[in-house]
Every structure is written in C-alpha cells, then in structure tokens.
Amino acid sequence: MIENVTNTDDAERRSAIVLLSGGLDSATTLYLARAAGARLIAVTFRYGQRHAVEVEAARRVALAAGVSEHLLIDLDARVFRGSALTGDQPVPKDRVPDTGEIPPTYVPARNTVFLAYAVGLAEARGATDIYIGVNAVDYSGYPDCRPEFIEAFQRLITLGTRAGYEGRPVRVHAPLMHLTKVEIIRRGLALGLDYGLTRSCYDPDAQGRACGGCESCRLRLEAFRQLGLRDPAPYAIHEPPA
Amino acid sequence: MIENVTNTDDAERRSAIVLLSGGLDSATTLYLARAAGARLIAVTFRYGQRHAVEVEAARRVALAAGVSEHLLIDLDARVFRGSALTGDQPVPKDRVPDTGEIPPTYVPARNTVFLAYAVGLAEARGATDIYIGVNAVDYSGYPDCRPEFIEAFQRLITLGTRAGYEGRPVRVHAPLMHLTKVEIIRRGLALGLDYGLTRSCYDPDAQGRACGGCESCRLRLEAFRQLGLRDPAPYAIHEPPA
C-alpha cells in the first residue's frame, strides 16, 4: 500500500497529548501513540518529585521520539505533599507489590491533576486524544491507575467539556493498562525505543542512577531479567547478570 | 441546647477546601461552608484570567470570612488558552443566557483542573470536604457547572484517591447548584456576606469596576434588581436605579 504522505502532514494529522514522566511506561506509551499516527504533544509535570532526574529522561525520550512539542508544566508542590515521592516519607526498599494496600509512594490525586491539565490543553490546542501510561498489572497499587478510574475520567470529560458537550469528546487512551511489564518492554523495543533513555527509579542517587531496590526498580529489573536482557539504564548497585 | 465549644476547636473540626474565585457565587459558597461548621481552606487560582481583579476580591472575602488559610495557586496559562476570559476573544456584551450554547467565556476544563487540585490538597491536608459554587440555574451554560459533572467528579475521586479507596472519599458539595441568583444572594445576606467585597464581571475596567454588560454582570444586576436592592459592587456604567 502506498502511503499518502500529505495525509500525514503535521497540519492534517490528529494531535495527541501524551503524559510523559520519563519512565519506562510513559515512554512506551509515547511510542505507541506515535505508531498510531498522531502528531505528538508531550507533557511533563514538575510537582516537587524527588526523582527529578525523570524530567531529564522525559526530555531525552521526547527528542528521540520526534514529538512536535514538549511542554514542561510546574505544579504547585504544596498540593502533592505527604508522599514518599515528594520527599515527605522514605521510599520503601523491600515492598512486595500487589498486596492490596496503597504504598507510601502514592501521590495525592496525581493522575487526576495530570489528566485534568491534559484535557484543558487538548481543548486549547484542538487535540483529539490523550495517552497515559497507567498499568494495572505490574504496578504499585495506586487507585488512579485502574481501568475504572480511566473510565470515570472519560465520563467526566465527556460531560464536562465543550468538546464532549458538542459530541466529540477527547478520548483517553491507556494502552498499557492490561499488559505485563514484559509485554510493555517488548512493544517498546519493537518500536525502536531505547530504554537506556528512560528512568523509573523512585529514589535515584545524586548522579541520577537508579537504586535497584525500590518497587519501581524491582518491577523493571525483573521484567528485563525475564526477557533475558540487561536493563540499559544506569544503576547505583551492581546489577545481577541477566 | 448547650454547644460544646471544644468541639469547634480548629484542631478538631473537619476541614473543607473551598474554591474561591472572588465572585458572588463562590463567596456565598464560602459563607455556607462556614455556616456548616467547617474549618476553611480557601483556594484561588490564577490562570491568566483577564478579570484578575477577582483575585483581590477573593483576598477580601477570605479575610472577611475568617478562613484558616487562603492559598493562591498559579496555573500554567498555556493550558487555558482560547477563552474570552483569558483574553483570546472579546467578552460578549449582549449575550442572552440559557440559549443551550456554550459561550466564548468557557475556559477549557477549568472546573476539572480546579477540582483536581482541590482533591490533591484535601488529601494532603486531611480535609474531608470540597465546596464549589457552581450553579445550573442562572449561569452561562458551561458544561462543567452541571449536576451530572459534579456527580461524575465525585465518582472519579471515590475511585481514584487513597481516601476513596479506603472508604472515606472526600465529598464534593455544590450547595448553589439548584438555586436562582436571587436565592443565592438572599442566603449570603442572611449569613452576613458583604457583596460589595465580591467581583463577578468578566471584563472589568482598569480600576476594577464592573462593565455592567457582560453576561455575569447582567445576571447579577438583574438579581439585585429583583430583590429591590442596589448591587454594592462598583460599576463603570451608571447603574439603573433599583
């Protein structure tokens, strides 16, 4: 099939807002949105997170993906207090995922705020789609990463925005929702994503190297191990051989 | 009945986040939340609105109401582009309310973002309630002011927050939802609210005086007229006698 190149012109393509933290999941989501043919507007939030090295990772990934635009948005850090990710508690290093409890790394209403901003931006820019890399399989048990949360948000914006009121609501996509971490990495690799650009650690050292012990590192390292690959991101610990 | 004074101590009272724009509706909502006995945390957003005189009005109202805390939160103005309220279009001066169309003063996803922040703040501060002054009777036809929007937001945070997950979701109150503007003003006056402190105009002049012609002014002036009262806020036009 011969591609119609004019149809893929920036001006004629649908635009998508992609929430990009710089971690493994959001980077993969960006590449999936790109593969879907969208013109990409990546958005990264600074909210006082201690793992600010993520923001640099987001820049690298956005550049590599060839996004049309990458917005850094500063949020009022007072709103997100109380989490291990904003430095108000220690990051646990031995937590077993999937216990049914919400871990101390939960950040109050984070995805609600991120998605709310994304919707405002989508309406302001005429974007038709929003991509978010939430996942309910290999995840930390955050309530705002579950499918029912995404469905509730879709309902909210279908009711509460001009676009929704006029019958063309912005669509929220969570393409990783039901994938394992191994499946996520497989998809990203197939799309040419260099995971060495991404950072997932909740508690990196001063050089930006991952701790290897937090829940996010453990989920990630285990998935690369299962794939028989070495995680290309830098670790402060000596990583066990794959 | 003898009131137990210790129960109304700041430390023991339930805290409520109140969205306070400085307009007539949000000021009345603040006074209603106060009458409900809550410890008040007022929140005002700056989002590039051309009617920034509202923010000064919010300060005055918060002070008069005796709130425990008044937070000013700056939002990234890039997100809210495209509205007459952010200076990207003229404010209409002859619009008839209630035509079923969304007016140019609609701000993309504004209440979604405001409420999202309020929820994050409620979780961070341990507040149990959120008050928002939306109204679906004498209003400009914004989709994010309707009861179904507030219900959808309640569902979202019941699913998507730690407090909701643990069975004690933050409650969103919209006490003005089904009141006429006349009923709103009556309630505020009964609670001692000085409407001379509030500002509702979408397009005030350099001195902060209301234009008298925008939809917000017209709704407000008409309500005071029906009550046989003079609106105590300053107007740039010669106000018709009550």
Residue A65 is predicted with a pLDDT of 97
pLDDT 10s digits, B54-96: 889 999 999 999 999 999 999 887 777 767 677 667 777 766 5
Among A residues 66-95, those touching chain B with beta carbons less than 8 Å apart? 71, 73-74, 76, 78-82
Asked if the C-beta of B113 comes within 8 angstroms of chain A's C-beta atoms, the answer is yes
The secondary structure of residue A55, as a DSSP letter, is H
Indicate the residue of B78, B102, B155 with minimum beta-carbon distance to A162: B102
ipTM field: 0.83
Q: Is B209 on the interface with A (CB under 8 A)?
A: no
Residue A178 and residue A137 in contact, taking contact as beta carbons nearer than 8 Å: yes
B131 touches chain A (CB under 8 A): no
Looking at the structure of chain B, the number of domains it has is 1
Contacts of A164 in chain B (CB under 8 A): 143
Find the domain containing A84 and state its range. 5-203
Cβ pair B141, B98 in contact under 8 A: yes
Express each pLDDT in A42-84 by its tens digit. 999 998 776 678 889 999 999 999 999 999 999 887 777 767 6
Residue B164: list chain A partners with CB under 8 A.
143
Residue A41 contacts residue A76 (beta carbons within 8 Å): no
Residue of chain A whose alpha carbon sits nearest to that of B151:
A156
A156 closest CB neighbour out of B78, B153, B166: B153
B108:A120 CB<8 A: yes
> What is the per-residue pLDDT for B50?
67
Chain A residue with CA closest to B145: the answer is: A160
The contacts of residue B190 (CB under 8 Å, 6+ apart) are none
**Chain B from 152 to 171: CB within 8 A of any A CB:** 152-153, 155-157, 159-162, 164-166
B19's enclosing H/E stretch is strand B15-19
Q: Quick one: average pLDDT of A34-47?
A: 94
Q: Touching check for B147 and chain A: CB below 8 Å? A: no
Contacts of the segment B200-203: beta carbons below 8 A, 24+ positions apart: B200/B23, B200/B24, B200/B25, B200/B233, B201/B51, B201/B53, B202/B50, B202/B51, B202/B84, B202/B85, B202/B91, B202/B105, B203/B50, B203/B51, B203/B91, B203/B93
Task: Chain A: give the shortest CA distance to residue B31, in Å.
Answer: 24
Between these two residues, B108 and A85, which has the higher pLDDT value? B108
Q: How confident is the model at residue B231 (pLDDT cuts 50, 70, 90)?
A: very high
Of A119, A124, A161, the CB nearest to B81: A124
- Closest Cα in chain B to A126: B82
Q: Strands of chain A (E only): list them.
A: 15-19, 39-46, 69-74, 129-131, 171-173
Q: Which of chain A's residues have a Cβ under 8 Å away from the Cβ of B79?
A: 73, 117, 120-121, 124
B211 located within any domain:
no
Domain annotation covers residue A210: no
Contact list in B for residue A45 (CB cut-off 8 A) is none
Q: Which of B43, B49, B75, B79 to mutate to test the interface with A (most CBs of A within 10 A)?
A: B79
Residue A187 included in any domain: yes
Q: In angstroms, what separates the C-alpha of A160 from chain B's closest C-alpha? A: 4
- Chain A residues within 8 A of B156 when measuring between CB atoms: 112, 149, 152-153, 155-156
Interface A:B, Cβ pairs < 8 A: 151
Closest CA to B134 of B119, B121, B153: B153
State if pTM tops 0.80.
yes
Instruction: Specify if B64 maps to a domain.
Output: yes
Quick one: pLDDT at residue A8?
A: 45
Please list the alpha-helical segments (H only) found in chain B.
24-35, 53-65, 110-125, 147-160, 162-165, 181-190, 215-226
Closest CA in chain A for residue B73: A76
What's the rounded Cα separation, in Å, for the pair A36 and A16?
10
d(CA B233, CA B201): 10
For residue B3, name the pLDDT band (cuts at 50, 70, 90).
very low
The per-residue pLDDT for range A88-127, each reduced to its tens digit, is: 677 777 665 556 678 877 888 889 999 999 999 999 889 9
- pLDDT tens, residue by residue, A154-197: 999 999 998 888 899 999 999 999 999 999 999 999 999 999 99
Tell whether B128 lies on the interface with A, counting CB pairs under 8 A: no
> The domain spanning residue A69 has which CATH number?
3.40.50.620
Strand order in the sheet with B129-131: B69-74, B39-46, B15-19, B129-131, B171-173
Chain A partners of B87 at a C-beta cutoff of 8 Å?
none
Average pLDDT over every residue of B100-122: 87
Give a yes or no: residue B67 inside a domain.
yes
Amino acid at A17: I
Residue with tokens 């991952």: A210
Residue A231 located in a structural domain: no
- Asked if the structure places residue B134 within a domain, the reply is yes
For residue B237, is it within any domain? no
Neighboring chain A residues of B110 at a CB cutoff of 8 Å: 120
- B203 band by pLDDT with thresholds 50, 70 and 90: confident
Cβ–Cβ gap A81/B124 under 8 Å: yes
Give chain A's count of helices (H) and strands (E): 7, 5
